[in-house]
Amino acid sequence: MSGPTPEPKLFTPLQAGAIRLANRVVMAPLTRNRARPADDAPVAIHVDYYRQRAGAGLIISEGTQISPEGKGYAWTPGIHSPAQVAGWKAVTDAVHAEGGHIVAQIWHVGRVSHTSLQPNGQPPVGPSALTANSRTFDGAGFVPTSAPRALELADIARILEDYRHAAANADAAGFDGVEIHGANGYLIDQFMRPSANHRTDGYGGSIENRTRFLEEVVDAVTGVLGGARVGLRLSPFSPANAVVVDETAQETFARAIDRINPYGLAFLHMVEGATGGSRELPAGASIDALRARFDGVYIANNGYDRRMAIEAVESGRADAVAFGKLFISNPDLAERLRRDAPLTTPDSATFYGGGAEGYIDYPALEGAEHRGAAVGG
């Protein structure tokens, strides 16, 4: 007689640095634009939202700005004020009470912002004074990003202090760690891309110079939390927010990974292909080669379904898989995937802004079955 079929590795525990995941289904960071407008603090609705999703092996919070200058979209939360820390503490307490784990994704958008979102209506900042030619949400609608000013060396030193402060605040708010947002055309990614970085000092030009800011951020954050409580998100081959994926991308991100390896990070989380789009890679590009350079836990992201995720983890190509939009409409996604149960389709009209609708009113599996709300997915 044959024994029971072993459970797919996707649904088994994983140690990521200092964080013990109950399963390898990770909730990706998801901007939802529901922070309190007056002070960008999380509120009670955030507590419910994250508590509902505590069955994920790890929750990575929505992008959370490290300073008022780091803000690029209306109603996104921060982690630089006492009110914001208090709001997040209620969230982390709720997740932990359900047995879950959560890290804060700490974020500086750089040039992907608008003067109306910046302190005193100032221009956004970037490695160089090069406009992103993308769009952002100002609270009334989508508007073109504003022209940035180039960061001075003193500004860079100040921003590194903002990262340290955000890491300390994340610790005070009860997060299990942080994920440094180095992806999707935001500030750290801007430094690494020749299309956004025309600097002629020690932060521009060569690959060594363009990856310097990333390492300095990692050094700052791990200096507060230790490497075992810090992860990093990268998107080597994504043109998100109008950065150009050029012929140096493979070499640039290989060097980036080599530079952060000595810090013993808990995980590396990579967007495989274009963010929220095609998984196709440019000629000569290899996610597997980059993943092989990293010494720790690797979280794969972008367009995964159950079959793909199980295969990626079983084969060892990934240690865990992050899901985004499916976590919006399936708060108990890890359990649904484990059971191979039907998935609820998300309503894109309620992704950004608003209140409870499309945020905390998606039922868990039993509730969905009773309401007849589940659909094939």
Contact call for residues 55 and 21 (beta carbons, < 8 A): no
d(CA 357, CA 350): 7
- Contacting residues for 142 by C-beta, under 8 A, at least 6 apart: 135, 136
d(CA 337, CA 7): 12
- Contacting residues for 4 by C-beta, under 8 A, at least 6 apart: none
Is 352 a residue of the active site? no
- H/E segment holding residue 270: strand 267-271
Q: Catalytic one among 49, 50, 163, 186?
A: 186
Reduce the DSSP state of residue 21 to 3 states and report it.
strand
Reduce the DSSP state of residue 29 to 3 states and report it.
coil
d(CA 336, CA 326): 11
Reduce the DSSP state of residue 94 to 3 states and report it.
helix
Contact call for residues 58 and 99 (beta carbons, < 8 A): no
Contact call for residues 317 and 291 (beta carbons, < 8 A): yes
Catalogue the active-site residues: 186
